Chain A
């Protein structure tokens, strides 16, 4: 098992070319100014922020690992010059605490690069057994390249702040399977900025198990005609866990397509939320967008919050959104019982079916 990023980053540090110190310092100053997020903040309105007050103790070394068997992708640390060029200003400007912390606590970087016209597959595991650590991952898919990625967040009693930048160039195609496992005390703040160019496509499927606080924040920009994203997410939370999806999709120009389907299965006193916004810019005519969120509440103490939103400034736009919150459908269970399945089997099938619509999209891992 090669810990490519760790080794290379340590080598850079040894050579005195660790360019992160300035960024860490700037980000720490920003973090002090911005403070902890609270529910008064619009972007955190559904999140129980109390766990953030508890900083996890460091226990074991974290690691970004590229698993054996990867093909086509080039992987290594992000070049120091690129770090300065690309993020020095962003660290100062952003108000996203997840992004700020990913810099202020930066431990590791990883650049995954799929060259022009290449095909490839890669499985990346981000392990945070304990402590508080930030990561930066840059994913570059060059023109006409076709790649798939598995991103695995494995968390102990830790806080992981993972910042991702994803650039898919003209005609490129990227399929991401993102999964998360972790302890009850796990905290994960994941922030991704995804930029999709002309005739490029991204298919992104995530499966979350939640933790003390798990929140995924994604900003998707469809920057040229023919760009498309198909996003699907599933959170299955139980106990006192929480998982939150904050998703922004911007149709910057017309003739672009987006699909979002987010499902939550909530048991015990767990909570999950979906806060989604489709923004269609002025002049982005013939954009085609759909956003759906469905929540299955298995116990009376669970909580689901949902806020699908459309912000349309163009003409001839196809845009649809919707949300449901409910218990397993009695009609579905009765239908299955009239075919001879006992009520427990029927209930299990209906619940499993609710999740399977998302889980069937996974090809390389089985969350």
Chain B
């Protein structure tokens, strides 16, 4: 589904990714861990097409096509979703209307008819209930004035509405209290199925206790230093990155 080969990327003149190789099949959940500055968020943003980053070498193939040739919006309508570590506030843009536009962009790319507001409302109401969010959030401005936890839950809401085939969740667990973490984990588990892949970027074992990954990778200095099953995350929790990377 997603094949990353020898991926190199930089910000300005600073190299961040120095040869990533990663292969993810439909139905798999991969966790990416690593010390601060190891390139985890950069990897997610490069896959999503964030324009701040320049790919200098390597390739990303998505469902057999060259992903790097596509602008971010076409990656999104093609089924890739990035849950931001720091979701951006967009004052004045209504959350529900924004979600409808995004949902319709995806439908349009699939050759499906766009939904009017009244047609979209029941779907959104269902997803909001499933995310255990207050319906009032739909009518607020996109992320504006949301707490850190509310923003993260709004990212999960967007994911469940847009139904991507690959979800990149960048530290979605940070800033959540234990109840909110459980709700977010339930949302991810409900989303998980044989046709979808998930990349979880996290510093902590606690999310991986709730959403069990098929593979765990540790990034260091812009490369995947080691990979393993979920016991690797337990070792990191117990001994720290230095011990695992030694």
A338 close to B101 (CB less than 8 A): no
Which one of A331, A339, A350, A360 has the greatest number of beta carbons of chain B within 10 Å? Answer: A339
In the docked arrangement, what's the CA distance between A203 and B131, Å? Answer: 37
In the complex, what's the smallest C-beta–C-beta distance from A45 to chain B, in angstroms?
29
Per the 8 Å Cβ criterion, residues 81-124 of B in contact with A are 81-82, 84, 87-93, 98, 101-102, 105-106, 109
In the docked arrangement, what's the CA distance between A330 and B102, Å? Answer: 18
A338 close to B82 (CB less than 8 A): yes
Which residue of A331, A342, A353 contacts B93 across the interface (Cβ within 8 Å)? A353
B105 close to A335 (CB less than 8 A): no
Interface of B is mostly: mixed
Which residue of B87, B92, B141 contacts A355 across the interface (Cβ within 8 Å)? B92
Interface of A is mostly: helix
Q: List residues of chain A with CB within 8 A of the CB of B93.
A: 349-350, 352-353, 356
Per the 8 Å Cβ criterion, residues 297-336 of A in contact with B are 329-332, 334-336
B98 close to A340 (CB less than 8 A): no
Q: List residues of chain A with CB within 8 A of the CB of B229.
A: none
Q: Is A337 an interface residue (CB 8 A)?
A: yes
In the docked arrangement, what's the CA distance between A353 and B49, Å? Answer: 24
Q: State which size class the interface on B falls in.
A: 20 to 34
Q: List residues of chain B with CB within 8 A of the CB of A357.
A: 91-92, 141
Q: Is A44 an interface residue (CB 8 A)?
A: no
Q: Is A95 an interface residue (CB 8 A)?
A: no
Q: List residues of chain B with CB within 8 A of the CB of A353.
A: 90-93, 141-142
Q: List residues of chain A with CB within 8 A of the CB of B162.
A: 339-340
Q: List residues of chain B with CB within 8 A of the CB of A345.
A: 101
Q: Is B48 an interface residue (CB 8 A)?
A: yes
Which one of B50, B91, B92, B98 has the greatest number of beta carbons of chain A within 10 Å? Answer: B92
Which residue of B73, B82, B84, B90 contacts A349 across the interface (Cβ within 8 Å)? B90
Known interface pairs A343-B73, A349-B98, A353-B141; A338-B92 also in contact (CB < 8 Å): no
Kindly report which residue of chain B lies nearest to residue A353, judged by CB atoms.
B92
B158 close to A339 (CB less than 8 A): yes
Kindly report which residue of chain B lies nearest to residue A349, judged by CB atoms.
B93
Contact string, B54-93, partner A, CB cutoff 8 A, digits 1/0? 0000000000000000011101110001101001111111
Q: A335-B88, A342-B73, A353-B92 are in contact. List 5 more A-B contacts (CB 8 A).
A: A334-B88, A352-B92, A353-B142, A355-B92, A356-B92
